[in-house]
Chains A and B, each alone.
Chain A
């Protein structure tokens, strides 16, 4: 199976601030929105990469945040999914106020280490906590756009059904050869739920992931404590640490 030498590879590019115009704001449940953006001369991206965004208030105050790109590279728009963080400085604006026609600055794409393309091969293990699913969704959308049958084993941890992003779309993708998606709800499981309802643990990973001997490429994303707990479990479970790509969103997620 083809496996590109991703580690240590430099991808030269100049990233500069560009103006993004909101084409559409799509609700993803009560606490998240997907921002569909037009960015002139966008250079394209690899699934898993992110952008920095910059907001400038009328008094000149600026704030920057990073958001993972949700869309597949095959699209001609750029999509970011933003989850509301209570008392956050930026997310309330994006989730509750932003409208089509508004503009802000983006810079990217950023992050070659946490990225994947079909040509990198697999099998894939994708583990997302909350909004950590966003960059993994970019990978799955890219995989679908290429009609790839690289095996992908996905595990998503969400507090409740409200926080579970893209569920309908993932259920629509699942019948495609080689894709399996498991959900675990850590606070409130959906009514009638018979699946996992606890924090990710060794037993759950053993159920979901192929054996270490299959040498999967592993991507883990979400709040820092989640990512580090999962990465530790995977290393303890015998997976090669060098095959584990992690992206830590910090204490509040992304």
Chain B
């Protein structure tokens, strides 16, 4: 009987701490703006202190669009869908504003690291 298992992945990027190094703020939330009018909302503390990156390489190669390239958020300690794909900007907000997926119930459920589905990958 043959067995199947998931591939290991490696990512390369810059820490969100580095991006926000020179920023002073009282904001408690971060909204990631992505291509396609997607927004993803996270508490700032969930992307601070080494917990989040903006990544641009996947497996040693430039991140391709189907994996969220040219750049995406990576927040390993949260559910994978919070690692917003196709990121174009980060905004700091005072309020918790539901993003695109939060508006249809995405909150604390869903499998961590659930990959997107494509035909015949």
Interface size class of A (residues with CB under 8 A): 20 to 34
Q: Does B36 contact A (CB under 8 A)?
A: no
The answer to whether B66 and A58 touch across the interface, beta carbons within 8 angstroms, is no
Q: Does B95 contact A (CB under 8 A)?
A: no
Q: Does A90 contact B (CB under 8 A)?
A: yes
Chain B: minimal CB distance from A55 (Å) = 5
Bitwise, A155-191 to B at CB < 8 A (1) or not (0) is 0000000000000000000000000000000000000
Q: Does A216 contact B (CB under 8 A)?
A: no
Q: Does A89 contact B (CB under 8 A)?
A: yes
Chain A: minimal CB distance from B112 (Å) = 10
Q: Does A77 contact B (CB under 8 A)?
A: no
Interfacial residues, chain B to chain A (CB-CB below 8 A): 1-7, 59, 64-66, 111, 113, 115, 117-121
Most buried by A among B64, B65, B66, B118: B118
The answer to whether B65 and A57 touch across the interface, beta carbons within 8 angstroms, is no
The answer to whether B120 and A91 touch across the interface, beta carbons within 8 angstroms, is yes
A residues near B6, Cβ cutoff 8 Å: 57, 61, 63, 89
A residues near B7, Cβ cutoff 8 Å: 87, 89
Given contacts A61-B6, A102-B1, 17 further A-B contacts (CB under 8 A): A57-B6, A63-B117, A65-B118, A65-B121, A67-B120, A82-B120, A83-B120, A85-B121, A87-B59, A88-B121, A91-B120, A93-B2, A99-B2, A101-B1, A251-B64, A253-B119, A254-B119
Q: Does A64 contact B (CB under 8 A)?
A: yes
A residues near B120, Cβ cutoff 8 Å: 65-67, 82-83, 85, 88, 90-91, 131, 249, 252-254
Interfacial residues, chain A to chain B (CB-CB below 8 A): 55, 57-59, 61-67, 82-83, 85, 87-91, 93, 97-99, 101-102, 131, 249-254
The answer to whether B4 and A57 touch across the interface, beta carbons within 8 angstroms, is yes
**6 pairs, CB–CB < 8 Å, chain A vs chain B:** A83-B120, A85-B121, A101-B1, A251-B65, A252-B121, A254-B120
CA distance A134 to B120 in the complex (A): 12
Chain B: minimal CB distance from A79 (Å) = 14
Residue of A at shortest CB range from B5? A57
CA distance A82 to B121 in the complex (A): 9
Chain B: minimal CB distance from A88 (Å) = 4
Chain A: minimal CB distance from B108 (Å) = 19
CA distance A58 to B5 in the complex (A): 7
